[in-house]
Amino acid sequence: MFPDKDLFHYTSADAFLGIMKNRVIWASNIGLLNDEKEYQLTTELLRPHLDKIWKKSEHKALVERLTRLIEKSDGGPTYVTSMSEKPDLLSQWRAYCRDGGYSIGFNKEFIPEIVERCQLEIIKCNYSPHEHKKLIADFADKLFEQISERGASVTDRNQALQFHADHVYGQINLLANEIKHPAFEEEQEWRFVKMFVYANHLNLKYRAAKGMLVPYFEIPLVSPKKPDLFIPISEIYVAPHKNSELSEKTLTTFMAGERAIYDEAPFVPVKRSVAPYREI
C-alpha cells in the first residue's frame, strides 16, 4: 500500500542542506529511534501468544529458543525513515526542529519508485490497540503453523537460528514498525524501512554523535541513471521560529537556485508554519 497524499519529513536546516546536496535521505537504526520502547511494545503483545504456542506445540525446545531470540532482539540491522501525513504539526516541530528547520513534502507520485528501486518496505503506522491485537494474533497463528510443519526438522541451535531468520525476524520487524502506541496517533506516520542491512553495505554510513559512532543508511532519492532529475519535493514548510520570516525568504531564494540547475524542475512552494512560536 502506498500513500494517496504527499508525505512530510521534519528535519533541521543542516540535515536539509545534506539532503539537497547529496540527494539522499537518512534512515536511522530502529534501536536508536526516539521511542526506545517501540520494539518492546510488539514483543510484550506477542508474549502471551508465545506461551500459548509453547503449551500446545510438540516442539517446545524450538519455541523456547525462538522466544529467547525474540525477546532479546532490538530489531537488528533494520533502518527507518519516518514521515508524516501532516505538514505542519507542532509536536513534530518540537521534536525535530526546536532551533528551526523544515518539513519537506515528498511527492506521492514518486514514492513507489524510490521504494522499489531501493528495495524498501513502506509501512503506515497503526495506532489502534484493537488492530494491534489482531495483527499479533494473525502472526502468532502463522508462526504456530510453521512450527508444526517444520519443527521436527529443527534439531540443533543453528537450525533454530535459521528458522528464526526465515520465519520470524523479518515479520517481527515489520510488525514493530507498524504497531505504535496510541499516544502518537496525531503524527499519522509512514515509514521507509530497510531490513537486512549488512555491515559492508555501500549505503551504510557512520557519523560521530554523543561520544559514539551512530550508523545510518542512505536512501537515494533519485536514480543514479537519471542524474538530471530534480529531487521529488512538492512543497516545504518553515518551522515556527523567531526568524521564520527570514528563513522563508532565504529558503525561497535557495530553492530557486536549486531549480535552475536541473531541466524541467518543478516550482516548489515555500510556506511558513501557522503554529505559534514562543521563545522561552
Structure confidence at residue 35 (pLDDT): 59
Give the model confidence (pLDDT) of 159-207 as tens digits. 999 999 899 989 998 999 999 999 999 999 999 999 989 999 999 999 9
**Domain total of the chain:** 1
First vs last Cα of the chain: how many Å apart? 42
**At residue 22, what are phi and psi to the nearest 5 degrees?**
-95, -10
In a domain, 214, yes or no: yes
Predicted model pTM: 0.91
Closest CA to 261 of 8, 9, 13, 20: 20
d(CA 55, CA 53): 5
So what's the pLDDT on residue 99? 87
Q: Which three cell numbers stand for residue 71?
A: 525477546
pLDDT at 85: 97
Mean pLDDT of the chain: 92
pLDDT of residue 264: 80
Model confidence at 277: pLDDT above 90: no
* 280 falls within a domain: no
Query: Is 137 contained in some domain?
Result: yes
| 279 located within any domain | no
Count CA atoms closer than 13 A to 78's CA, side-chain side: 23
Give me 92's grid cell.
513534530
The answer to whether position 278 is within a domain reads no
Domain limits for position 111: 7-272
Residue 54: left if φ>0, alpha if ψ -120 to 50, beta else—which one?
alpha
pLDDT digits (tens, 9 = 90+) for 94-117: 999 988 999 999 999 999 999 999
Q: Residue 280 pLDDT > 50, yes or no?
A: no
Q: Do the domain assignments include residue 2?
A: no
Report yes or no on 240 lying in a domain: yes
pLDDT surpassing 80 at residue 39: no
Q: Note whether residue 72 is domain-resident.
A: yes
